[in-house]
Chain A
């Protein structure tokens, strides 16, 4: 590799990284600005359109449930992956991450193959009065599938960051594995777990690809946004986009803040 010293001197080596990073920030920021600046005026009524209200309602009632399911099962899984060695761990590891790297639409197709109306599971659920596609639960299914890896991966990193001897100390002081987990591991990993929960929730709120396959109806915010765009153009997506961006921004800032508040110095 060769670098021109005169170039480096002109830029100043100290300024090179901020310059490169600044380019990326600009690239990330530009579409936001372009999108919101082209809006010439929005009717307040657009925010109360029945389709929009319904989409917001579905998103806000499904994403928390998907997040709760992902957390209730994902945190224990994260702990097992952080603390135990077992045969096939590498494979389990890979499957946990797979939904992250796979196109969500592919995940949706797989979910349909597993839980669709003509599948045994789908029929069993239907017999119990629960529809797993094109329904509230179809949305939750898609959101959980796509978003759960976030809480597992983040919580796992949190558990792995805990000195194993701290847990051993609790055990040697007479506390069983459950009490040790609740009183030591969980509080010490709470910053990471919270970050994972929030990321999972955000991902669930924004889930589109898999949801479109499993539940085009009833529509969540991202699906409704797509429908508006296809039917009426980019400007029609503004109200929903604004709400989703606001939720996303609040969540990201919240993670930053609480992540710092909840960390414990070793």
Chain B
């Protein structure tokens, strides 16, 4: 099955979605974008809660435009779960399809069999989320939409449910659209990604491809390429592309057309060494350690370059390397393969 959006548009007084082109096969596509980028509006249009002002929504070739939500066979899992508070878990599950075996299978799949007699108000957030997913699955939808389904959960539960969701969703063999603003969640749950910005799709593709080769500085920033630096290409050859940042030069294996580029480097691809930089060494930037923040895994170090530009370095180890302290000079290095060039 496939879900296809062709030139879908929805106009409001202060916001316009689209035109959006999107194709979702029998796999999970994460729609990734900041709040206000139109993610929920996009789901509303697919689910039929909102009618688009233009374009087509096709589910397996069937035109959905003009159909009421109940005529679409599109399941929806809401961020606030939207369970029926006056019905038990079992009644919630049976609302869209009362086939006993199907309800049993779904309850088993999501490990909610022991919750069936409970009322929604007595469930934890994670349990509510699983019941909400189960309720949508029992109705055997032709496509499934999830709107930030884990956003209201605590971090540890969220991480576990991300993996659980991945397992469940990948077995469905229907198009799944998974809306999130969290790049890690998108990477964990989805097969492909569509990055949404100001109502339009900035980039689509398999998760790995989008993360490895973001097409624009916005996408790069959104998929965790935190170091974005403006520069000019000064030479391009078989050894790579040399970019002048004004205060230092970088060599990238990547290629790019225009002379004006944005250089993107993930914090984890930057490495920190003590001492002064050798001016003849490529991709070694001298700077001053400004700050270090320890995290659950490793640390995040901010280094100030000679012109005041700040570089974010993520280390696997906690603290700073030997010989480096806050306020001391240090060298930041990067492999040319890890330098992303964006137009």
| Chain A positions near chain B (C-beta within 8 angstroms) | 163, 165-166, 168-177, 184, 187-188, 264-266
Knowing A165-B78, A168-B49, A265-B121, the reply to whether A174 touches B73 (Cβ < 8 A) is: yes
Q: Is the CB of A171 within 8 A of B68?
A: yes
Knowing A163-B80, A165-B80, the reply to whether A172 touches B47 (Cβ < 8 A) is: yes
Residues of B within 8 A of A265 (CB): 85, 119, 121
Could you say which of B70, B83, B121 contacts A172, with CB atoms under 8 Å apart? B70
**Interface size class for chain B?**
20 to 34
Can you identify 27 A-B contacts, CB atoms within 8 angstroms?
A163-B82, A166-B82, A166-B83, A168-B47, A168-B49, A168-B76, A169-B76, A169-B78, A169-B82, A169-B84, A169-B135, A170-B95, A171-B70, A172-B72, A172-B74, A172-B75, A172-B76, A173-B95, A173-B96, A173-B135, A175-B95, A176-B68, A177-B68, A184-B84, A264-B86, A264-B121, A265-B119
Main secondary structure of the interface of A (DSSP, over half): helix
For residue B274, CB closer than 8 A to chain A, the reply is no
Shortest CB-to-CB span from A184 to chain B, Å, is: 6
In the bound assembly, the distance between CA atoms of A53 and B85 in angstroms comes to 46
> Which residue of B has the minimal Cβ distance to A172?
B76
> Which residue of B has the minimal Cβ distance to A169?
B82
For residue B319, CB closer than 8 A to chain A, the reply is no
B123-161 toward A: CB 8 Å interface, digit per residue (1/0)? 000000000100110010100000000000000000000
Shortest CB-to-CB span from B168 to chain A, Å, is: 18
Knowing A175-B70, A265-B121, the reply to whether A170 touches B136 (Cβ < 8 A) is: no
Residues of A within 8 A of B119 (CB): 265
Residues of B within 8 A of A176 (CB): 68, 70
Residues of B within 8 A of A175 (CB): 70, 95-96
In the bound assembly, the distance between CA atoms of A163 and B83 in angstroms comes to 10
For residue B69, CB closer than 8 A to chain A, the reply is yes
Shortest CB-to-CB span from B257 to chain A, Å, is: 45
In the bound assembly, the distance between CA atoms of A116 and B179 in angstroms comes to 61
Residues of A within 8 A of B86 (CB): 187-188, 264
Could you say which of B47, B73, B85, B139 contacts A166, with CB atoms under 8 Å apart? B85
Shortest CB-to-CB span from B152 to chain A, Å, is: 13
Residues of A within 8 A of B121 (CB): 264-266
> Which residue of B has the minimal Cβ distance to A179?
B70
In the bound assembly, the distance between CA atoms of A165 and B44 in angstroms comes to 11
Sample of 8 further A-B pairs with CB below 8 A, known A169-B82, A176-B70: A166-B85, A168-B69, A168-B78, A171-B69, A173-B70, A184-B84, A264-B86, A265-B121
